[in-house]
Every structure is written in structure tokens, then in C-alpha cells.
Structure 1
């Protein structure tokens, strides 16, 4: 036990000696203090300032670009809304204009149809005058006239397509509309009078010369009945024998010439009402001159 204490005492004595020995060296103490308190070195702040300036400039540039783009986006949005509103107004105006154009086209079609009806009319008053003059010139009699109207296409039926022309061939024109057919029946004294009557029909602008033809001509007994002037007349006197007559049937068609093309003939034959209507339609531009 005493040995352990003596060993501890020796160690304490040596530790105190070491401390004293260190305290006796001031240069070592000063070196340690200098290590603990190192002088502050002067650093160059220029790169830091440049970096900070560049960062601020980039941030300012991004902020300015964002503001410009945002303002442009706002302006474009306003312009788009204005264009959408204008487009809606223009669309309404276009629809109204299309409606007006459709109504105008319908009115024009109706006017053209009405003009076509008037322009295709050949009044019977004018035809009667024409046939009466031709009958007197030829020396024939007309006993009956039968008129047959052309067959119109069924409503909604599409017209048959025209065949496509072969190479080198001209395109065929659309067929002309059919006109009314007339069958004229009567009697004449000779076949020559009937031939003259057919020629006069061919020359008339009221009839189609290409479709005028003699259907029938035959010699028949004269059906005219002779009546005595009075009952006291000599009953034994023989009645004169009447010459036979030639009974004929002629087929013809009304001409395709329009009323506007036959104003002079219509006016000469007394169809003044139709002539005035055609002239009025021509003045209004419904019928082209």
C-alpha cells in the first residue's frame, strides 16, 4: 500500500515539473497563442460581387421577359375574345345573307317559270285567226281541231342522263321541249287544195314545219243535203248531183318559237293582251330580248 502511494506521488511530482518546464518557455506559449488566434486574411470580393450582379441581372431579365410575355398573353386573349365576338356577328350576317340569297333565287325561279309560261303561250284567238286565213287561201274547210298537250315528266323524276360523247364527237345539245299536237280534220274539193293547205301550215310561224304532215286524204260522197225552196216546187224535177269531196286529216305541232319571238304575228292576229304582257316582262328584264 505504501508502495502504491509512493508511485503516485512520484508521478505527480513529474507532472508538476513538466508544467513548470513548459511555463519556463515563453516562445512555446506564444506560438500556441498565435495558432489559436490566427490573423484575419484580406480576401478579394470582386468575383463574389460579379456573380451576385450576374445573378441579379438574370433574375431581372427573367422577370422582365415573364412580364412581357404575360402582357402579350393578356393582349392576345383580349384580341381573341374580340375576334370571337366579331366572328359570331359575321356568322349571323352571313346566315342572314344566305337566307336572302336563297329567297332571291326562289323568287327568280318563280319569275322565270312565270315568264316561261307566258312566253310559251300561243292563244287560241291568234291560232283561230291564223287557221282562218290559211283555210281561205287554200280553199278548204276545217270541221274539227283536236289538241293534245305534251306529256310532262313526273314530279321529282330525274331526267335521263345523256350518253357521253365518244372521242372526237361533239356534245349533243339538250332536247327541245315538246309542244302541243294538233289534228286538223276537214274537207276540200280537190287534193290540190289539201296540198296547198299543208304547205301554208309549213310556212306559218305558229306551227312546226318539221312535224306537219298529211295523215289521211280520201274521196267521199258529199254529205251536203239539198233542200227545195218550197213544198210547191216541182217534185218531179231531179236534184243536181253534188261532186264528191276529199276528206283529210292533218297532224301538226305548235312551233317552238316563243311569244317574244312572235310579237309581230301575235299583234297582227289580235293577241294584244299577250303582246302587252310580254313587252312588260321584257322591260322588267324577266324576259331577255
Structure 2
């Protein structure tokens, strides 16, 4: 028969450790196991520091940019004020130039009466007599439009020996650069009795031939006086010629 040999001493705590038994296993760290921890700590410290440094740098740059923007805005305001002054001066200059040009254009349209009378005197036939000469005003135009002829025209009345003499007088005036050839015309021309000469002896009668009473009108030319310098000099209008030449030297009137 079998026998059971049971040793209850081996079942006591710590019985296996006596006499060189098994030792209880303890956890241990491998060599170099702390490196990842150090790396993690370094990363955790380095990146926040780097982020803080970058944030400080960005804030500093932003403050610098804001300061430059403030300076530039101030300079821009100063430049805008100066530009406004320049625009105002330019507007005033253009207004003055426009006024001067308007005055010059009116001045350049002047036809002296002395020159007009000399033209009529040079071109009247020997058989034509003048009783009156008067200037006619320029045509009225609508508001905002310029007058076609600021100088107006001329009206001549008198007597002539015949109708042909009146026609010759009109054609002669049309050839003058001081008048518009297309605007000259005979308004009236009719036969009339000649006035009886004064101082005849009593009882003496004289038969006087009839004459033609006429009225001629013509418009003054639009040609500027600056383009009629030679004709004006020939008519003795030296004062106007001298003023025009002075304006040409200053550039107000183009040559």
C-alpha cells in the first residue's frame, strides 16, 4: 500500500527562501529608461518658452508697426492739407487765367473808330457822299451763348450820283478785312431831289439832277486785331498796335 509523506514545514511563509530557495521577483528599470522622460520634460519646457519668446517678438513688432502707422497717418494728413492748398491755388490760377483770356479776347476784338473811318474814307468813290455813320450793336443771343460778333456792325447813310455808285461803294467795303464781305448789303436806295444850292441870285433857277439816297450796313469782321497789325499801322492806329505787341511778348496773345 502507498503511504503519504506530507511535510507541513514547507507550507510555512518564507519556507522556500531558507536554504537557497527562490527569491521574490521585484520590478526594475532598464538601463537608459529615464531618457524619454528627460526629453519630454525638455520639450515641455522648451516649446512654451519658444512660444512665449515668439509672442513677445510679435507683440514688439506689432507695437512698432502701429507706431509707424500713426506717424504715416499724421504725415498723410499733413500731405492732404498741402494737396488741398495746392488744388485751391490751381483753381484760383485757372480762374485768373480764364478771366485774363476773356479780357484779352475782348481786347483783341477791338476795331478802333479811327481805323474804321480811315477805311471808309479810303474806299468811298468820288461820286458818293456820306451824311452819317453810326455803329450798330452786336446781335442779342440767348443766355449762356457767346455773341457771334462782339464788335457789332456799321451803318452808313448818304447820297450818290447813281445806283451803280452805291454798289461800287458797297463792293469796295466788302474787300476790306475790317468788314464781313457776306454781311454787307444795301438797306435802302431811292431817287430823291438834290438840295438847291444856297446863295443863288434872286430869280435864278437851277435844275439840279436827282440823287440816290442810300443806307448801307455791314458787320465788322471777326478777325482779331492781332492779325490785322499791318492794316492797323497803315491806318495810323499805333497805340493799339503797341499794346498788342506788348501782350504778344508776354505770351498772353499768341503770335
Q: TM-score range by the shorter chain?
A: 0.7 to 0.9
- Please name the residue that 1:285 is paired with: 251
Task: After TM superposition, give the deviation of residue 243 of structure 1 in Å.
Answer: 1.1
For residue 158 of structure 1, report the CA deviation from its aligned partner.
Answer: 4.1
Q: 1:138 touches 1:196 (CA, 8 Å); kept in 2?
A: no
Show the counterpart of 1:42: 29
Residue 162 of structure 2 corresponds to: 190
Task: Verify: 1:219 aligned to 2:224, yes or no.
Answer: no
Which residue is equivalent to 1:62? Answer: 51
- Mapped contact 2:138–2:153 kept (Cα < 8 A): yes
In terms of fraction of residues, the more helix-rich structure is: 1
Distance 1:207 1:66 in 2: 89
Q: 168, 172, 191: which is aligned to 1:200?
A: 172
Q: Distance in 2 between matches of 1:97 and 1:116?
A: 28
**C-alpha distance in 2, partners of 1:143/1:60?**
114
User: Number of matched residues?
Assistant: 239
Structure 1 pair 285–127 and aligned structure 2 pair: CA distance change class (3 A): same
What is the TM-score when the length of structure 2 is the normalising length? Answer: 0.84
2:244 is equivalent to residue 271 of structure 1: no
- Match runs of 1:81-160 below 5 Å: 81-135=70-124, 137-153=125-141, 157-159=143-145
Rg larger for: 1
TM-score (norm 1): 0.75
Kindly report the root-mean-square deviation, in angstroms, between the aligned alpha carbons of the 2 structures: 2.6
5+ long unaligned stretches in structure 1: 1-20, 32-36, 160-174
Query: What CA distance in whole angstroms lies between the structure 2 residues aligned with 1:152 and 1:214?
Result: 22
Q: Shift in Å at residue 263 of structure 1? A: 0.9
Q: Deviations over 1:130-176 (max 9, x none)?
A: 111112x453111122322224556xx445xxxxxxxxxxxxxxx98
1:241 and 2:207 are equivalent in the alignment: yes
Shift of 1:56: 2.0
> Structure 2: any 5+ residue segments left out of the alignment?
1-7, 19-23
